[in-house]
With several copies, the nearest count.
Chain A
Amino acid sequence: MTTRSLGRLRRTDFPYYAAHPDAVYLDSGATSQRPETVISAETDFVGADYAAVHRGSSVATGEATWAFETARERVAAFIGAGERELVWTAGATDAINMIALGISDASLGLGSADLALSAGDEIVVTEAEHHANLIPWQRLAARTGAVLRHVAVDADGLWSLDGMRREVSPRTRLISFPHVSNVTGQIAPVADIVGLAAEVGALTVLDACQSVPHMPVDFSTLGVDFAAFSAHKMLGPTGIGALYGRAELLDVLPPARTGGSMITTVTMEHAEFLPAPNRFEAGTQPVSQAIGFGAAVDYLASLGMSDVRSHEEGIAEALVETVTRTPGVRLIGPAPGDERAAIASVIVDGVHAHDVGQFLDDRGVTIRTGHHCAQPLHRALGVPATVRASASVYTDLDDVARFGEALGEVRDYFGVTA
Chain B
Amino acid sequence: MSGLDDLYRELILDHSRDPQGKGDPQAEAHSHHELNPSCGDEITMGATVDEDGAIASLHWEGQGCSISMASASVMSDLLAGASRDEALARIDEFREMLRSRGSVEPSERLEDAAAFQGVAKYVMRIKCAMLGWVALEACLMESAAT
Binding site for B on A (CB under 8 A): 54-55, 57, 62, 65, 263-265, 274, 351-355, 358-359, 362, 369-371, 375, 378, 384-385, 413-415
Establish whether residues B63 and A384, one from each chain, have CB atoms under 8 Å apart when the complex forms. yes
Cα distance A415–B7 in the bound complex, in angstroms = 15
Establish whether residues A384 and B121, one from each chain, have CB atoms under 8 Å apart when the complex forms. no
Establish whether residues A358 and B63, one from each chain, have CB atoms under 8 Å apart when the complex forms. no
Establish whether residues B122 and A358, one from each chain, have CB atoms under 8 Å apart when the complex forms. yes
Establish whether residues B37 and A358, one from each chain, have CB atoms under 8 Å apart when the complex forms. no
Q: How many A-B residue pairs have CB under 8 A?
A: 62
Stretch in B23-31, B38-46, B132-140 with 4+ CB within 8 Å of A: B38-46
With A355-B65, A384-B63 known to touch, is A65 a contact of B40 (CB < 8 Å)? no
Establish whether residues A55 and B124, one from each chain, have CB atoms under 8 Å apart when the complex forms. yes
Tell me the minimal C-beta distance from A283 to chain B in angstroms. 15
Can you list 28 A-B contacts (CB < 8 A)? A57-B3, A264-B35, A264-B37, A265-B35, A265-B37, A274-B37, A351-B66, A352-B66, A353-B65, A354-B39, A354-B41, A354-B64, A354-B65, A355-B66, A358-B4, A358-B125, A362-B2, A362-B3, A362-B4, A369-B39, A370-B38, A370-B40, A371-B39, A371-B40, A385-B40, A413-B8, A414-B13, A415-B17
Q: Which of chain B's residues has its CB closest to A263's CB?
A: B37
With A264-B37, A378-B40, A415-B13 known to touch, is A354 a contact of B128 (CB < 8 Å)? yes
Establish whether residues A385 and B39, one from each chain, have CB atoms under 8 Å apart when the complex forms. yes
Cα distance A358–B40 in the bound complex, in angstroms = 16
Cα distance A107–B34 in the bound complex, in angstroms = 31
Inter-chain contacts of A384 with B (CB < 8 A): 39-42, 63-64
Q: Is B49 an interface residue (CB 8 A)?
A: no
Inter-chain contacts of A354 with B (CB < 8 A): 39, 41, 64-65, 67, 125, 128
Establish whether residues B121 and A352, one from each chain, have CB atoms under 8 Å apart when the complex forms. no
Tell me the minimal C-beta distance from A368 to chain B in angstroms. 11
Inter-chain contacts of B42 with A (CB < 8 A): 384
Cα distance A354–B36 in the bound complex, in angstroms = 12
Dominant SS among interface residues on chain A: mixed
Establish whether residues A352 and B2, one from each chain, have CB atoms under 8 Å apart when the complex forms. no
Establish whether residues B40 and A57, one from each chain, have CB atoms under 8 Å apart when the complex forms. no
Interface centre among A375, A384, A414 (most CB of B within 10 A): A384
Q: Is B123 an interface residue (CB 8 A)?
A: yes
Inter-chain contacts of B121 with A (CB < 8 A): 57
Establish whether residues B37 and A352, one from each chain, have CB atoms under 8 Å apart when the complex forms. no
Q: Which of chain A's residues has its CB closest to B37's CB?
A: A264
Inter-chain contacts of A358 with B (CB < 8 A): 4, 7-8, 122, 125
With A352-B65, A354-B67, A414-B13 known to touch, is A370 a contact of B39 (CB < 8 Å)? yes
10 residue pairs, one from A and one from B, having the closest CB atoms: A384-B40, A354-B65, A352-B65, A362-B4, A264-B37, A370-B39, A355-B66, A355-B65, A385-B39, A55-B124
Q: Which of chain A's residues has its CB closest to B69's CB?
A: A352
Interface centre among A62, A265, A358, A413 (most CB of B within 10 A): A358
Cα distance A65–B123 in the bound complex, in angstroms = 9
Interface centre among A65, A265, A354 (most CB of B within 10 A): A354
Tell me the minimal C-beta distance from A286 to chain B in angstroms. 19
Tell me the minimal C-beta distance from B67 to chain A in angstroms. 7
For B113-128 the 0/1 string (1 means CB < 8 A from A) is 0000000011111001
Inter-chain contacts of B2 with A (CB < 8 A): 362
Inter-chain contacts of B41 with A (CB < 8 A): 352, 354, 384
**Option from B3, B35, B39 in Cβ contact (under 8 Å) with A353:** B39
For B1-26 the 0/1 string (1 means CB < 8 A from A) is 01110011000010001000000000
Tell me the minimal C-beta distance from B33 to chain A in angstroms. 11
Cα distance A62–B66 in the bound complex, in angstroms = 23
Q: Which of chain B's residues has its CB closest to A361's CB?
A: B4
For B58-75 the 0/1 string (1 means CB < 8 A from A) is 000001111100000000
Tell me the minimal C-beta distance from B47 to chain A in angstroms. 23
Q: Which of chain A's residues has its CB closest to B38's CB?
A: A370
Cα distance A369–B123 in the bound complex, in angstroms = 15
Inter-chain contacts of A378 with B (CB < 8 A): 40
Tell me the minimal C-beta distance from A262 to chain B in angstroms. 9
Cα distance A355–B16 in the bound complex, in angstroms = 11
**Option from B4, B17, B38 in Cβ contact (under 8 Å) with A359:** B4
Cα distance A362–B121 in the bound complex, in angstroms = 13
Cα distance A264–B2 in the bound complex, in angstroms = 34
Cα distance A375–B64 in the bound complex, in angstroms = 15
Beta-carbon contacts under 8 Å, B92-146 to A: 121-125, 128
Cα distance A375–B40 in the bound complex, in angstroms = 8
Tell me the minimal C-beta distance from A38 to chain B in angstroms. 25
Tell me the minimal C-beta distance from A104 to chain B in angstroms. 26
